Amino acid sequence: MSQVPAPASTAAQVAVFETLGTARAMRYLRADPVPAGHVEAIVWAATRASSADNTQPWRFLAVTDAGQRQRIAAAIAPFRQVICAMPEPSGPTAARTRRGAEHLIDSLGSVPLLLFICGLNDYPEGDPQERYLWSAVFAAAQNAVVAARALGLGAVFSMLHVAAPAEIRSILGVPAGVKIGVMLAIGWPQRPFGPVARKPVGEVLRYDHW
Ligand SMILES: Cc1cc2nc3c(=O)[nH]c(=O)nc-3n(C[C@H](O)[C@H](O)[C@H](O)COP(=O)(O)O)c2cc1C
């Protein structure tokens, strides 16, 4: 268990911090289905996120149908060769991440829930700027990852859809004008969560002046 910050003293506070501290990228997922109630709870949590002017530009596409998941996996599969052609990472952590990323591609068709978090580029009105759409989409995505963890589900961010953007849009029927931000792969974990490895707060926090 990662260290929970000292001010978290009530059981509820500790639970929240423990969930945040163990919501790690889970690329090893069982094929068992994710109940619809869990999907909706995750999207509920995602939609509690903040967005500019509360515009809530996010839209969610939960892919659970086996045929659709297979089609998406097949569209992304060639990207495995691109990863294989990259130089082998030097450190053990990066090498482990690489193995996990490869496993995710290989097993994608059996991941029970692929949650695409999309967004509308419509803010500010008359002069829309994508930064507002992306900030909302990724805030929602992080809430979704943490909510999945709270429910005992594993989740991992992925940008794998970028490997075959036109094909993925066509499979999913995403209308022109709707951007696909992230594909979360979600399912019951095959491995323990364990703490996330992050830089200490003291290394990244400054007060009052850089
Ligand atoms: C925007 C974004 C894109 C990501 N894309 C991928 C991906 O395509 N494939 C993958 O296996 N992990 C992906 N990840 C997961 C990160 O590699 C992971 O969160 C990071 O290595 C930290 O791992 P940890 O949370 O287990 O500590 C992505 C994460 C983010 C935030």
- Strand, helix or coil at 82? helix
Cα(4)–Cα(89) distance, rounded to whole angstroms?
Answer: 31
| Cβ-contact 158, 186 below 8 angstroms | no
With a pLDDT cut of 70, the percent of the chain lying above it is 99
Q: How are beta strands 58-63 and 113-120 bridged, if at all?
A: antiparallel
Question: Per residue in 168-200, pLDDT tens?
Answer: 999 999 999 999 999 999 999 999 999 999 999
In a domain, 66, yes or no: yes
> How many distinct structural domains can be found in the chain?
1
Question: Residue 73 pLDDT > 80, yes or no?
Answer: yes
**Residue 20 domain-assigned (yes or no):** no
Tell me the average pLDDT across 79-98: 92
Taking Cα atoms as reference points, which of 118, 132, 130 lies closest to residue 175?
Answer: 118
pTM: predicted TM-score of the whole model, two decimal places: 0.97
Query: Over 70: is that where the pLDDT of 1 sits?
Result: no
| Dist CA 144 CA 137 (whole Å) | 10
Is 204 inside a domain boundary?
no
Q: What's the CATH code of the domain at 36?
A: 3.40.109.10
Query: Which tokens belong to 26?
Result: 């889970």
pLDDT at 3: 84
Q: Among the atoms of ligand 1, which is closest to the Cα of residue 160? A: 8
In a domain, residue 76? The reply is yes
Q: Which of 20, 156, 180, 193 to mutate to test the pocket of ligand 1 (most atoms within 8 A of CB)?
A: 156
- Percent of the chain residues past pLDDT 90, beyond the cut: 98
Could you tell me where the beta strands, DSSP code E, fall in 113-189?
Answer: 113-120, 154-156, 178-187
Closest ligand 1 atom to residue 101 Cα is: 11
Question: In angstroms, what is the span from residue 130 Cα to ligand 1's centroid?
Answer: 21
Atom of ligand 1 nearest to the CA of 197: 27
Residue 12 resides in a domain: no
What SS3 state is found at 44? Answer: helix
| Domain residue limits at 170 | 26-190
In 3-state terms the chain splits into helix, strand, coil percentages (rounded to 5) of 50, 15, 40
Q: Is residue 197 part of a domain?
A: no
Residue 27 above 80 pLDDT? yes
Burial class (CB in 10 A: 0-12, 13-18, 19+), 210: exposed
> How confident is the model at residue 33, as a pLDDT?
98
